[in-house]
Structure 1
């Protein structure tokens, strides 16, 4: 049981730790939790493209059935946001996604999604963790059943309807999109949705490969060079889109910029939505202040939350925000489930680009609100040392960083040092890897590099 810990977004671990007996214990814990909550509705169990994911999903289904729950399974690996949507659309008790997201193939993971389709908050994961136990079984006559269902069509219908309500119509005819599934679950889901909306598709890595081509399905610039080369070619497609391994996150590639920084896309998307709607934005503490500038210009507010989409989702519910997102490429919008959805946002981004090229939108955004640059790095730190290091850091906060006065300290998630020149430095523990994240934002790359170096020098002696 000690090996099972629920981090930023569920439990992830290397396969030597992520074992069938432990997965079954998680299944039993959720079954017990749902039963104690008086829930009797079916549970959906989705999974990603990893070699072991279908097997783990079936183990969860067996445990749930033995506890009296009917279980819905997709016919193959499908994106996590489709699982979240199905929970709300079908009025289910909740659901599982067996996925390690962007982690390399030697990892797997599992997350429980409650009945509202949003990521589970700590009170739920704590209640589940308290119920971890070896599986039990009701009499055979009380067992539930398992059946395969289509998760794709209902989600696609809802995505098209929502984007149409935002844009007036969804017509991508004449638009060519290069789509990189990174061998993950977005294949034949995101690209199919774009095609259904009229786009012409050029597909990269849209076959299943449980080894993800020998890397990790992380839509970072260094992993998308083929997509960038394709889109930035003189005769290339109009837009590039990539999803991570379970397609809850998105990356964009444009003809002029190549890889489009997720912060810039977030700000451009928010400003686009504000053209015909109103509402606040929710962003994580590691996400750009450019969102705040856009909000201020439109008389709107911004809610800053700790890293982890569960906090974004919670704030969206409390504030009826128009959009919520993180700098890592996870976004959702009002009117959809409160879970990051790289499939929906791919359609929305393509419709936005068809209306006006993203490069032109971003140029205008920066001309209006000023330039920002952000980057991050990591400092290795064992999981069991993270709390101590962050605690020790409290006594080491300097008065100046890289020659600039520290004007404020935000402790919502680690330590965010707000500097007199408008830049900031953030140090926080990763919820998915044995590292401390160091983030910085400023007006140019040289200043960001300077801040990141200062952050590493601040943290490294404490590890």
Structure 2
């Protein structure tokens, strides 16, 4: 039981720790949590494309059925957002999703999705952790059924976005993950010409973790150029996040994508934006130009989702590529956002829109680095950092300090430096944003040195 801990987005571990026995204990804890909360509707159990994921999902379904819950498995591995939408669409008690997202193939994980389709908040995951126990059978056995999660989600996206992609050429990179046959099919049905990359299932992910970062998408950048495509789109392993490639910029910083799509939505709608503490202030500038508010949250889409619901926000997101919009399930959705990105690009290239936004609001450069830090040292580093906040960083005075998640130092020139513990890896994260590449590099160098002294 001590090996099971729900972090930023569920429990993830290497396969020597993430065993069938422990997975079944999670299933029993979720069954008890749901039963005590008065839920008796079916429970969805999704899984990603990893070699072990379907077997773990079948074990979870077996435990739920033994506790009297009907369990719904997908027809094949599928993206996490499809499972979240199924919870709301089918009025389910909740769902379990077997995925380690962007982690390497030697990892797996499981997350619980409550009945509202949003990420589970700590009070829920704490309750599940407290209930971990050996599986048991209680009363009549429920059924286990395979159902279609793809079609209802695609219908929701078409209704919400109504993507019109005629004349658009898109290179889609599934990174061998669960977005294959889902995101590309949706774009094709909207009229786009889709050129596919890594759209076969490979449980080793071709030797590269299914993380849609710039270093892992050089092939997509080359493919967009080679095919004279209008856009490149990649999903991570479970397709709840995405990354974009444009003809002029190559890999498009997720902060700039957030800004472009929020600005596009504001052309025809209104509403505040929700962003994490690590996400660009460019969102604030765009919102202010439209007399809208911005709500800042801690890192983790569960906090974004909660704030989106509370504020009836038009869009919410985080710099790591997770976004959602009003009218959809409050969970990050890389399939939905791919359709929205393609629809926006069919109206005006993302390069042109980003150029206009930067001309209007000023240049923005953002980046982050990591410093190795054992999990048991993270709290101590943060405590020590609270007593070591410098008066100046890279020659600029510290004007204010935000403590929503770690320490975010706001500097007098409008730049900022953030230090926070990773919720998924034994690392401290250091983020910075400024008006130039050199300035960001200087901030990151000082931030890295500051943290390294405390680890």
TM-score bracket for this pair, using the shorter chain length: over 0.9
Q: Deviations over 1:284-317 (max 9, x none)?
A: 0000000000000000000000000000000011
- Partner residue of 2:277 out of 266, 281, 285: 285
- Partner residue of 1:204 out of 194, 197, 203: 197
**8 Å contact from structure 1 (residues 44, 92) kept in 2:** yes
1:263 maps onto 2:255 in alignment = yes
3-state SS of paired residue (1:83): helix
After TM superposition, the structure 1 = structure 2 runs for residues 23-102 of structure 1, keeping only pairs within 5 Å, are 23-102=23-102
* Ranges of 4+ aligned residues in structure 1 off by more than 3 Å: none
Aligned mates of 1:59, 1:397 — CA distance in 2: 48
After TM superposition, the structure 1 = structure 2 runs for residues 174-189 of structure 1, keeping only pairs within 5 Å, are 174-189=167-182
Aligned mates of 2:439, 2:184 — CA distance in 1: 38
Give, in angstroms, the shift of residue 266 of structure 1: 0.2
**8 Å contact from structure 1 (residues 27, 60) kept in 2:** yes
Give, in angstroms, the shift of residue 171 of structure 1: 2.4
**8 Å contact from structure 1 (residues 232, 256) kept in 2:** no
Question: Which residue number corresponds to residue 417 of structure 2?
Answer: 425
After TM superposition, the structure 1 = structure 2 runs for residues 112-151 of structure 1, keeping only pairs within 5 Å, are 112-139=112-139, 142-151=140-149
- Partner residue of 1:449 out of 436, 441, 451: 441
3-state SS of paired residue (1:368): helix
3-state SS of paired residue (2:387): helix
Gaps of 5+ in 2: none
3-state SS of paired residue (2:267): coil
Give, in angstroms, the shift of residue 118 of structure 1: 0.3
- Partner residue of 1:213 out of 206, 215, 239: 206
Gaps of 5+ in 1: 165-169
After TM superposition, the structure 1 = structure 2 runs for residues 235-384 of structure 1, keeping only pairs within 5 Å, are 235-384=227-376
Aligned mates of 1:41, 1:172 — CA distance in 2: 38
Q: How many aligned residue pairs are there?
A: 455
- Partner residue of 1:158 out of 156, 159, 171: 156
Q: Deviations over 1:338-383 (max 9, x none)?
A: 0000000100100000011111111101011111000000000111
Aligned mates of 1:267, 1:358 — CA distance in 2: 10
Aligned mates of 1:60, 1:81 — CA distance in 2: 19
Aligned mates of 1:134, 1:389 — CA distance in 2: 36
Aligned mates of 1:371, 1:236 — CA distance in 2: 27
Aligned mates of 2:138, 2:400 — CA distance in 1: 56
3-state SS of paired residue (1:462): coil
**8 Å contact from structure 1 (residues 119, 313) kept in 2:** yes
TM-score by length of 2: 0.99
- Partner residue of 1:226 out of 216, 219, 226: 219
Aligned mates of 1:33, 1:432 — CA distance in 2: 24
Q: Deviations over 1:253-306 (max 9, x none)?
A: 011111010000101111110011110000000000000000000000000000
Question: Which residue number corresponds to residue 167 of structure 1?
Answer: none
3-state SS of paired residue (2:286): helix
**8 Å contact from structure 1 (residues 376, 452) kept in 2:** yes
Give, in angstroms, the shift of residue 238 of structure 1: 1.3
**8 Å contact from structure 1 (residues 105, 212) kept in 2:** yes
Aligned mates of 2:41, 2:377 — CA distance in 1: 41
Give, in angstroms, the shift of residue 35 of structure 1: 0.4
Q: Over aligned residues, Cα RMSD in angstroms?
A: 0.7
Give, in angstroms, the shift of residue 161 of structure 1: 0.6
- Partner residue of 1:409 out of 401, 407, 427: 401
Give, in angstroms, the shift of residue 231 of structure 1: 1.1
Give, in angstroms, the shift of residue 428 of structure 1: 0.5
Give, in angstroms, the shift of residue 215 of structure 1: 1.4
3-state SS of paired residue (2:329): coil
Give, in angstroms, the shift of residue 138 of structure 1: 2.1
**8 Å contact from structure 1 (residues 85, 337) kept in 2:** yes
Aligned mates of 1:361, 1:402 — CA distance in 2: 32
3-state SS of paired residue (2:292): coil
Give, in angstroms, the shift of residue 236 of structure 1: 1.9
TM-score by length of 1: 0.98
Aligned mates of 2:119, 2:223 — CA distance in 1: 35
Aligned mates of 1:287, 1:18 — CA distance in 2: 32
